[in-house]
Amino acid sequence: MSDPLKYFFRFILFLFVQAMVLNHIPPLHRFVTPYLYFLFLIWMPFSTGRVALLITGFLLGITLDVFTKTPGLHASATLLVAYLRPFLINLMVPKDTRELAVGSPSIQTMGTASYILFISLLTLFHHGWLVFLEWMTFGSFLFFLGKVFFSAIISLLLILITELIFRPVRKIKRR
């Protein structure tokens, strides 16, 4: 399957899972809302330009917003993820390997530790900004912190499970 088509289907699949499954599961707790859809942005290839990334992020967020009826809320959070992603990649991937790195961020291209740090940071930024926007209109600070923390943990768990299912690490022989 060609790349644009692959990303198109992935876009739809992520949105579907988020809007139809994750948003509909009965709430475990008032702190916990799992988010997975922004993994689409994380999985975009290294070579994606910053402007294209921003526009994709905005489209992803605004499409989910139509489903959740919160125009602008998720769009704002995905924009932040799309804006911060290149900076984090620059920080985390060493310069000499970055030029060799083809494909997209994954455990194989970035290494286990830095990849987990990379998705954790982006998840925290995404959730922090999302809950912050909610918090601006109401709520207490404790609620803000609790929701960011617990939602991020559950989301990270989901992201790791998704990673293991769809992009298993192939064993590389090391001497």
Partner 1 sequence: MRNIFLLIRRFSVLLLFLGLQILAISMLVNYSKSHRARYFELAYEATGKINKQYTSVTRYFSLGVNNRNLAAENERLNNLLSVNFAQIDTGVVAEKLPLIIDTSNLTRKYLWRMARVINNSVSAQNNYITLERGKLQGIKPDMAVVSPVGIVGIVTDVSDNMSIVMSLLHRKSNTSVAHAKTGITGILEWNGYNPERLQLKGIPKSTQLQKGDTIVTSNLSLNFPAGMVVGTIVSFEPDDEGNNYKINIRPGANFFSLEYVYIIENLFLKEQRELEQRVKK
Q: Which residues bind partner 1 (CB under 8 A)?
A: 20, 23-27, 30, 33, 50-51, 54-55, 58, 61-62, 66-73, 75-76, 79-80, 82-83, 133-134, 137-139
Q: How far is the CB of 11 from partner 1 (least distance, A)?
A: 15
Distance, in Å, from the CA atom of 144 to the CA atom of 125, rounded to the nearest integer, reads 13
Q: How far is the CB of 32 from partner 1 (least distance, A)?
A: 9
Closer Cβ to partner 1, 72 or 94, answer by number: 72
Length of the chain: 175
Closer Cβ to partner 1, 138 or 141, answer by number: 138
Q: Which of 125, 117, 154 is nearest to 57 (CA)?
A: 125
Q: How far is the CB of 27 from partner 1 (least distance, A)?
A: 4
- What sign for the dihedral angle of Cα 42, 102, 164, 59? positive
Residues near 103 by beta carbon (within 8 Å), at least 6 away in sequence: 45, 46, 109
Q: How far is the CB of 84 from partner 1 (least distance, A)?
A: 10
Closer Cβ to partner 1, 33 or 155, answer by number: 33
In DSSP notation, 4-28 reads HHHHHHHHHHHHHIIIIIITTSPPS
Closer Cβ to partner 1, 7 or 31, answer by number: 31
Q: How far is the CB of 136 from partner 1 (least distance, A)?
A: 9
Closer Cβ to partner 1, 62 or 116, answer by number: 62
**3-class secondary structure, 122:** helix
